[in-house]
Amino acid sequence: MNKHFVLAIAASAALGLCLGPAAAVAADTQSAIASGPTYTGAPDVNVTAAFYAAGGGPGGFSMVRAMKHLIGEDQLQSELQQLASEYGQANADLFPHLFDYAVNDAWVRAGKDNVMIPPFGSHEGRALANDLIRDGTAPDGTFRTGYFLDHTLSAKVRAQVIADMVSRYGVEQTTTFDRMSNQFFFDMSQTLGGNTVSLAPNH
């Protein structure tokens, strides 16, 4: 079998973990994409704006800065340590940088796709943290990073951002990021309480 054909199928399958059916990558041949809930309604742009503001604004967004505002330094470090215990320290150290890349890239993509995000958010702290978890909770009750991006930016932007991540970091690292992000927000939901959230399969 042609090596490039095999790689294309592998990339598409891995992307399905993040993207769901709305973001199947165009290719010369169709391949099975791992399915997952997809949000197709209007983006929750007020939450998006608040999250960008908490992280320092578009273009200079910092996940670490945002999470310090949302859950505090101690809790953030605890969540990152949990990621390190499951995925290794190197992946845990890289996670915030990948998150920053995804969010900053999403801002650019949203602008090109006419997703209108207001300049300021209306709330912060734990209220915003709970809204982020709510927006990422799919109808099946699981937190999924892909659904979160759908709900806060649009399915089209989500597909473009993940494709950009694959181009820059590769399929394996992008898939690991997706799983780590699901784990991070699930763990955060358990800490905050009041959220009936489950961990996505194949996290």
pLDDT at 121: 64
Do 147 and 137 contact (CB within 8 A), yes or no?
yes
Look at residue 139 and tell me if it is in a domain. yes
For residue 142, which phi and psi values (nearest 5 degrees)?
-100, 145
Total domain count, the chain: 1
Look at residue 167 and tell me if it is in a domain. yes
pLDDT at 190: 87
pLDDT at 194: 66
Look at residue 136 and tell me if it is in a domain. yes
pLDDT at 54: 93
Look at residue 156 and tell me if it is in a domain. yes
**pLDDT tens-digit series, residues 12-26:** 344 444 544 434 443
Q: Please give the residue range of the domain that contains residue 131.
A: 40-198
Mutual angle of helices 89-112 and 155-169, in 10-degree steps: 130
**pLDDT tens-digit series, residues 33-65:** 234 688 889 999 999 999 999 999 877 899 999
Do 39 and 147 contact (CB within 8 A), yes or no?
yes
pLDDT at 23: 40
CA distance 118 to 111: 11
SS3 56: coil
Do 71 and 191 contact (CB within 8 A), yes or no?
yes
Look at residue 3 and tell me if it is in a domain. no
pTM score, whole prediction: 0.79
